[in-house]
Amino acid sequence: MTRTQPQTSLPPSLLPTLAGRYYTDPAVFAAEQEKIFEQLWFCAVRSADLPVAGDFRTVQIGRESVLVSRARDGSLRAFLNICRHRGATLCTQESGSVKRSFQCPYHAWTYGLDGKLIAAPNLASMPDIDRTEYGLHTVHLREWLGYAWVCLAASPPSFEQDVRGAVIERLGDLASIERYRTEELSVGRRITYDVKANWKLIVENFMECYHCATIHPELTEVLPEFADGYAAQYYVGHGAEFGESVDGFTIDGGSGFERLDGVAAEQDRRYYAITIRPQVFVNLVPDHVIFHRMYPLAVDRTVVECDWLYSPEVVASGRDVSKSVELFHRVNEQDFDACERCQPGMSSRAYVDGGVLMPSEHHIGEFHAWVSGLVAES
């Protein structure tokens, strides 16, 4: 039987990947849920999806169901979606709208939009019950780039460092992303992908472009430098330039829409990709932004929600966004197919010791060290 080379004897050009069990072992996934998704800032919903008081969405974060809703004062709130009485799931729908309260379908405990317990059968005869004390458990929430980021940790890590810092690390500054004013853009299209692969395979794939020439013919047509295998994320501040004959970031390179207000001239005709660990990818092009949120649901299953964001005028006027949506939708399908093709291999004896990273992928090693460091922490 052929064994993979012991990882200690790799030639200098190669770095080791994580071992196969990191992608298949439910115990590793449980540790990631606890140490990563339930500890770090997690991008949960697009704020504008909940425009009116009472609008809500439930999302799975680590082992928890989290309820994000719009309160009467107009702010977004996040709570654990669990009734304080006997633990029933409060909202069973993925999204919806309530008039003024959330009522548990089991014994009818009722919570205000601020999470406070406002009614329960026989509650009036029990003045010793503190309605705030028995309200829903609050989850930390911050809004940035038009999205609500939540954190389940009692003391959240620094949002500046972990979330905004990731963008600075990639682009060199915050202005380079804030110029796209993503919070003011409208969703032109949203596609949800149910990917039968571990979330780390999706992150690793997004971080490298060694695969671009093989699986992304349309993308490399628009961004010829990607054919060399070096991802835009490889160099700080670098945006991949459109090909000379390319007019826009569209499936056939035909023209897109007007450059978004505020986007700098030096960012025109360029594509920037940013990974915000653990579960967000942002893609910036002159006339739109593509924003991915991953929801890791099992060791071998990840739901990815992808928003194509355009200027409100483009969306309101009903202009055809399909040519630009089609380009990255195809890229997504090509990438997720590749990830799904790797997932079964992760449990093969051929991958017990993992694989190797080529030089254009070496930066993925830092992601591996980050994951294994967090998971190993006691």
Contact residues toward Fe ion (CB under 5 A) are: 335
- Whole-number minimum distance, CB 208 to Fe ion, in Å? 8
Out of ligand FES, Fe ion, none, which partner does residue 104 contact, by CB within 5 to 8 A per kind? ligand FES
- Whole-number minimum distance, CB 250 to Fe ion, in Å? 17
With beta carbons less than 8 A apart as the criterion, state whether 277 and 166 touch: yes
Out of Fe ion, ligand FES, none, which partner does residue 109 contact, by CB within 5 to 8 A per kind? ligand FES
Asked if 100 is part of the footprint of ligand FES (rule: CB under 6 A), the reply reads: no
- Whole-number minimum distance, CB 138 to ligand FES, in Å? 18
Asked if 129 is part of the footprint of ligand FES (rule: CB under 6 A), the reply reads: no
- Counting residues that bind ligand FES (by CB under 6 A) gives 9
What is the rounded CA–CA span in Å between residue 135 and residue 186? 34
DSSP state of 212: H
Query: Which one, of 272, 282, 304, 335, lies nearest residue 190 by Cα?
Result: 304
CB contact burial 278-303 (16+ within 10 A = b; e otherwise): bbbbbbbbbbbbbbbbbbbeebbbbb
Q: Looking at beta carbons only, is 106 or 235 nearer to ligand FES?
A: 106
179: number of Cβ within 10 Å: 15
- Whole-number minimum distance, CB 102 to ligand FES, in Å? 10
Q: Which of 30, 53, 88, 187 binds ligand FES (CB under 6 A)?
A: 88
How would you list the strands of the sheet with 301-310, edge to edge?
A: 186-195, 301-310, 288-298, 280-285, 270-276, 240-241
Which 3-state string (H, E, C) describes 99-124?
CCEEECCCCCCEEECCCCEEECCCHH
Asked if 190 is part of the footprint of ligand FES (rule: CB under 6 A), the reply reads: no
Asked if 83 is part of the footprint of ligand FES (rule: CB under 6 A), the reply reads: yes
Q: Looking at beta carbons only, is 49 or 335 nearer to Fe ion?
A: 335
Q: What are the tokens at 141?
A: 């929430």
Q: Looking at beta carbons only, is 52 or 126 nearer to ligand FES?
A: 126
- Whole-number minimum distance, CB 170 to Fe ion, in Å? 17
Q: Looking at beta carbons only, is 287 or 335 nearer to Fe ion?
A: 335
Task: For tokens 């971080």, name the residue.
Answer: 207
